[in-house]
Structure 1
Amino acid sequence: MERNWVKELAGVYVAMYSAYNDAGEVDSDRVRKLARYYVGKGIKGLYVGGSSGEGILQTAEERKKVLEAVMEEVRDELVILVHVGANSTRESVELARHAESVGADVISAVPSIYYRLSEKAVETHWQRMIDSTSLPFIIYNIPQTTGFQLSMGLLSRMAEQEKVIGVKMSGESTFELQQFKAAGGDNFLVFNGPDEQYLAGRSIGADGGIGGTYGVMPELFVALDGLYAEGKMEAARELQFRINGIIKRLLAYPSLYGACKSILSLRGVETGSPRLPLLPVGEEHQGSLAELNDDILRTVAAYTKR
């Protein structure tokens, strides 16, 4: 019997950050603590090794180490989606097989970056990953960073395969998001990528979302998803606007990930600095970050008491 992927996997997923020690090396203990922090927040699961997780800046062995720590800590408590995309197809396949070996639920990948690849090259790249495991596969479309725009034709061809179950739509067009959902059908998952338009994505067909700023306010995105599901659109818009105000403030720092990691540190969850060239947040920003953290926590308290 065909599995109902939307019923099984729809929801809110935190795009999990990296976790390093003070020397900048992947720290398994910190990874486990970070994964544990998200249990009980109401999220469906974690997206490991993506943009927020700095997977592209890590070696294959580091990426495996991160995933192994996540699986050891929360394997039976959260759904684990794993980004296995790398520049070379060979390394991507290696990461895909590793994800399957440790019990991950789903693999996902961006196109190879740097080279401007043809659609056929990207299709071949993804297909090798798909064929290398028995796991379901989610396309990761983020043209503003990869330089590759997923076409309707390629999306439709891939969606015909049983193992291709969805797309993480991080492009900025909600029209394309809606078109991807229409092309894939009711049982084809579409995850909203841009955090600042979560409500717009959901209202036009997304089945949930995967996002980086979720990591410092997962409860707010869970609450937003709940308001949408209940048809409380005015309240949902109000919350999206409040979330967007937080995102705007986060984007004012030297790097988004540096700011988010610093906020987690204020909560006792140490993840280290982001890996260069992603910039850390300096001492001069700690005061304003503490204020922002307080504002986030007050907003979380307001919406979790409703």
Structure 2
Amino acid sequence: MQVNWKGVYPAVSTQFNKDESLNLSASQQMLDRLINEGVNGIIVCGTVGENCSMSAAEKRQVLAAAKEAVNGRVPLISGVAETTTALAAQYAKDAEAIGIDGLMVLPGMVYRSAPHEAIHHLLQVAKNTALPVMVYNNPISYSVDISLDSMEVLSEQPNIVAVKESTEDTRRISELYNRFGNRFTVFSGVDDIALESLMLGATGWISGLTNVFPQESVAIYKLAAQGRYAEALEIWRWFLPLLRLDTIPTLVQCIKLAEQLAGRGAETVRAPRLALSGAERQRVISLFEQAMATRPDLRKFTL
């Protein structure tokens, strides 16, 4: 199975009203704006999208609303984060029926899987859909590393076509290419090492902070793809303090607050997450204000 997944794919937030109910119209407006500003794909119902904070029915509502808003303009991929393999397989079937373009599959939630259990889970989800599947490898957050040996087993499943590499070890990108060639499309999944990952051959960047500064994110990708690393570094170094927010436990609250400051969404999250307060909140505000005060002029870069 061949896919043309490349570029910058924001892992979008799910917008909620003040009472924590879904705000589907706000989510759709956010998606439309991101696409108009040049992102290459959309990831819904990922970690930033608070997948595990939504009911099964709500997740399907979010997928349908996203499908309507995206309207085929870019690939639309959904995270699959369920507590059991059966629920994840059913989600994959439902996402395919709704018309999503692909799936980003996480290991089973809550239970800490052994490597062979994670392989079984990923394979069963992939076998229950005709959609292309991206493996989400994030051992720091989900306590299991989808190793190179695991990827060897997964490579036998034709519709497992990509990996979101979030080990924070950029050597893994070269190791994937050395072992598998172009068998898998490789995405960087950690915001603050994305440029290094692109330089090492990652074909895409799944990003949280792209929700706040999409045009700068796309510019970094385009410049890196053209080998114009010195120019990419100019934007990258400006962006890095904010990108660090993607690597801490409160990343969802940080990103949604930054979205609100940028006039791109609301900071409302679902409990047990709570909106930031005190010094942590002020830190995000200060980082955002500094970024706005020193924002690079993208007109100087011929893209």
In structure 1, the residue matched to 2:20 is 24
Say whether residues 1:261 and 2:220 are aligned partners.
no
CA distance in 2, matches of 1:189, 1:261: 28
Q: 1:181 to 1:54 in 2, by over 3 A?
A: farther
The answer (yes or no) to whether the contact 1:47–1:82 under 8 Å persists in 2 is: yes
Q: Which amino acid is 2:58 matched to? A: E
Deviation of residue 210 (structure 1)?
0.3
CA distance in 2, matches of 1:100, 1:299: 43
Deviation of residue 158 (structure 1)?
0.9
CA distance in 2, matches of 1:166, 1:56: 23
Q: Which amino acid is 1:168 matched to? A: K
Deviation of residue 195 (structure 1)?
0.6
In structure 1, the residue matched to 2:268 is 273
After the TM superposition, which of the residue ranges 111-120 and 202-211 deviates more from structure 2? 111-120
CA distance in 1, matches of 2:196, 2:84: 34
Alpha carbon RMSD of aligned pairs, Å? 2.4
Say whether residues 1:237 and 2:233 are aligned partners.
yes
Q: What do the CA deviations read for 1:5-57 (whole angstroms, capped 9, x no partner)?
A: 3xx11111000112111100122112112211212221111111111111122
Deviation of residue 286 (structure 1)?
7.3
In structure 2, the residue matched to 1:141 is 137
Deviation of residue 62 (structure 1)?
1.7
CA distance in 2, matches of 1:49, 1:252: 18
CA distance in 2, matches of 1:279, 1:304: 38
The answer (yes or no) to whether the contact 2:192–2:246 under 8 Å persists in 1 is: no
The answer (yes or no) to whether the contact 2:44–2:78 under 8 Å persists in 1 is: yes
The answer (yes or no) to whether the contact 1:219–1:304 under 8 Å persists in 2 is: no
Q: What do the CA deviations read for 1:61-120 (whole angstroms, capped 9, x no partner)?
A: 221111111111112222111111211112111211111111111112111133232222
Say whether residues 1:190 and 2:173 are aligned partners.
no
Q: Secondary structure at the match of 1:167?
A: strand
What is the TM-score of this pair, normalised by structure 1?
Answer: 0.89
Q: Which amino acid is 2:270 matched to? A: R
Q: Secondary structure at the match of 1:112?
A: coil
Deviation of residue 237 (structure 1)?
2.3
Q: What do the CA deviations read for 1:258-284 (whole angstroms, capped 9, x no partner)?
A: 232233224443334122232313488
Q: 1:210 to 1:251 in 2, by over 3 A?
A: closer
Deviation of residue 301 (structure 1)?
5.5
Q: 1:298 to 1:79 in 2, by over 3 A?
A: farther
Q: Which amino acid is 2:260 matched to? A: S
In structure 1, the residue matched to 2:146 is 150
Give percent identity, aligned residues only.
25
In structure 2, the residue matched to 1:36 is 32
The answer (yes or no) to whether the contact 2:112–2:144 under 8 Å persists in 1 is: yes
CA distance in 2, matches of 1:23, 1:139: 34
Count of matched residue positions in the alignment of Structure 1 and Structure 2: 301
